[in-house]
Chain A
């Protein structure tokens, strides 16, 4: 059976009864079975549950995602299956409730098809820090898919699923989207409820969609956005018309190009490819303006100090008592904590705890955490000033294409630097999208667009116009012949 390529067309095929929901779920499971041995994007495939849900569903026009199988990053709680955050210490955890974003998708008719791999607790940029396995890039299975939402991006890129949910703290949706040739959206902080997303950096975390096209991402975004009584940091701001924003004309848009996004640390081929995509935006009628965001290099220190500080606090709750049994020698509670956390947590998670505890500890707090929070204000103000003159900011999503699995595992700072172009939008809380913009030696790269708070419509508009003038989103990786 030949399935439609996009969510938009698949929804239509279901509503028009050209395709039945069980047929679609079965075809999705077939595609997963075909790709999984090569890429390993799933931690758990929920075939039985999904088929059972499909058999009970009928086409229903009031449900915009009726019968659509969707993959969920395994840090987002689902009633079905486990929710492990790819961490040993949560390996047996089954969530008693759905995250709000998942509940909203299910209410719209979506079916959870499985849980997707990530770096444990979303700490990493490659899925190599998953406690269970490394996901491979469908474009070259010797390369990383990016991260932390690497499973979510690889599953969409390979065609295992049409859409997935990821989470983005400092780039975790945009980064793997760039490395896997898919569209990924990092919402304005507070636009999507964080309820049910296992916390990393609470002032940064956001759940967002990953899809093959801009319109598909907008469809999902419109459903998951909005205020939620279970997340006090979700915003009362009115949800925009994101699918309606997907129009081809961008003649009224002014796009700022920060010179710092093309400087030291950014591969020259990446800079060149992204500059070509910006020329394309100009040829579509947008006005291109050179701008400067001098605080861009402060993004990595500010982001990592804040994220690790918040992460160390959020990880304080993991004691290996309430969820996963561990075979330990400890006799007392304090020894149990030391041993369970020492044995149950992975290397990057331990670095988070150490760095965060250090940055927050007496004597160091002012110099590290507080200073980072102050520079955070300055980064936000720098964006706000830039947006007085431009509607959207454009640059590369990642400074590089996918790298070889295993080539960086001893160098955490090199890993952190891969987030150099995504972290400033995260600390400022502004929305951002990554859209496929080309290939370098057969490896994909993404164009990043950034807009002011709650102006996601501008992102969808520019990204859609760009995408429709190219064919990058139509390119699909070939299934490898052997493992």
Chain B
């Protein structure tokens, strides 16, 4: 049986994994909200699923492939995509330094 509640430290750890910077009050509220929701959700752990497989697809589609040919159709070019970027350098999206 998994424990139902989630600690503040766990919320901080998950937020870091998800690259989500949270304020202290957000962490407290999230800890409370998540604990409440997970407590309610824990009722599915009482359901016996030992003879059931997990569903990822519900309508029976399998191995959807296309013919292995060149696809020359382009929805839009790089230039059009870059129009959305706030900072561009030589046809590429400019980002901050990866290392300090």
What residues on B are CB-neighbors of A345 within 8 Å? 20
B21 part of interface (Cβ distance < 8 Å): yes
Pick from B41, B64, B95, B97: contact of A233, CB below 8 A: B64
Q: CB-CB contacts of A349-377 with B at 8 A, as 1s and 0s?
A: 01101110110010010011011111111
Q: How large is the interface on A (under 10, 10 to 19, 20 to 34, 35 or more residues)?
A: 35 or more
Q: How far is the CA of A62 from the CA of B13 in the complex (A)?
A: 58
Rounded to whole Å, the gap between the CB of B35 and the closest CB of chain A is 10
Q: How far is the CA of A347 from the CA of B22 in the complex (A)?
A: 10
Chain A residues whose CB sits within 8 angstroms of the CB of B22 once the complex forms:
342, 350
Closest residue of chain A to B22 (Cβ to Cβ) is: A342
Evaluate contact between A203 and B57: CB separation under 8 angstroms: yes
**A221 sits at the interface (CB 8 A):** no
Assess whether A339 is interfacial by the CB under 8 Å rule: yes
Contact A357 B18 (CB under 8 A): yes
For the complex, is A190 an interface residue (Cβ under 8 Å from B)?
yes
Decide if A469 is an interface residue (CB 8 Å cutoff). Answer: no
Determine whether the beta carbon of A374 is less than 8 Å from that of B58.
no
A427 to B58, CA, bound (A): 8
Assembled-state Cα–Cα distance A297/B41 (Å):
10
Report if A354-B98 is in contact (Cβ < 8 Å); known contacts: A93-B84, A188-B59, A416-B37.
Answer: no
Distance to closest chain B CB from A84 (angstroms): 12
Contact A333 B95 (CB under 8 A): yes
Say if the beta carbon of A473 comes within 8 Å of chain B.
no
Q: Which residues A296-342 have CB closer than 8 A to chain B?
A: 297-298, 300-302, 304-305, 312, 316, 321-325, 330-339, 341-342
A373 partner, pick from B14, B36, B55, beta carbons under 8 A:
B55
- A390 at the B interface (CB under 8 A): no
Interface contact A342-B84, CB-CB below 8 Å = no
Whether A304 contacts B41 in the complex (CB less than 8 A), given A321-B85, A342-B22, comes out as: yes
In the bound complex, residues from chain A placing their C-beta under 8 Å from that of B40 are 300-301, 413
Could you tell me the distance in whole angstroms from the C-beta of A95 to the nearest C-beta in chain B?
A: 9
Whether the Cβ atoms of B52 and A370 lie closer than 8 Å is no
Q: Given A321-B93, A374-B49 in contact, is the A338-B19 Cβ separation under 8 Å?
A: yes
Taking chain A's interface residues, is the majority helix, strand, or loop, or is none over half, making it mixed?
helix
A332 pairs with B52, CB closer than 8 A? no
Contact partners of B66 in chain A: CB under 8 A: 229
A285 at the interface (CB under 8 A from B): no
- Could you say which residues of chain B place their CB within 8 Å of the CB of A295? 47
In contact, A301 and B41 (Cβ under 8 angstroms): yes
CB of A302 within 8 A of CB of B100, answer no
Contact B19 A337 (CB under 8 A): yes
Given contacts A190-B59, A312-B18, A368-B41, 7 further A-B contacts (CB under 8 A): A301-B40, A301-B42, A321-B93, A323-B84, A347-B26, A373-B55, A374-B49
Binding site for B on A (CB under 8 A): 92-94, 96-97, 188-190, 203, 229, 232-233, 235, 295, 297-298, 300-302, 304-305, 312, 316, 321-325, 330-339, 341-343, 345, 347, 350-351, 353-355, 357-358, 361, 364, 367-368, 370-378, 380, 412-413, 416, 427-429, 453-454
- Which residues of B are interface residues toward A (Cβ below 8 A)? 2, 6, 10-11, 14-23, 26, 30, 33-34, 36-38, 40-45, 47, 49, 52-59, 61, 64, 66, 75-76, 80-81, 83-87, 93, 95-100
Ranked nearest first, the 9 interchain pairs of A and B with the lowest CB-CB distance are A342-B21, A429-B58, A338-B21, A325-B86, A373-B54, A374-B49, A301-B41, A96-B76, A367-B2
A-B contact pairs, 17 of them (CB 8 A): A94-B83, A232-B61, A233-B57, A235-B59, A312-B18, A336-B96, A338-B20, A339-B21, A341-B19, A355-B38, A357-B17, A358-B6, A371-B44, A377-B53, A378-B47, A427-B58, A453-B59
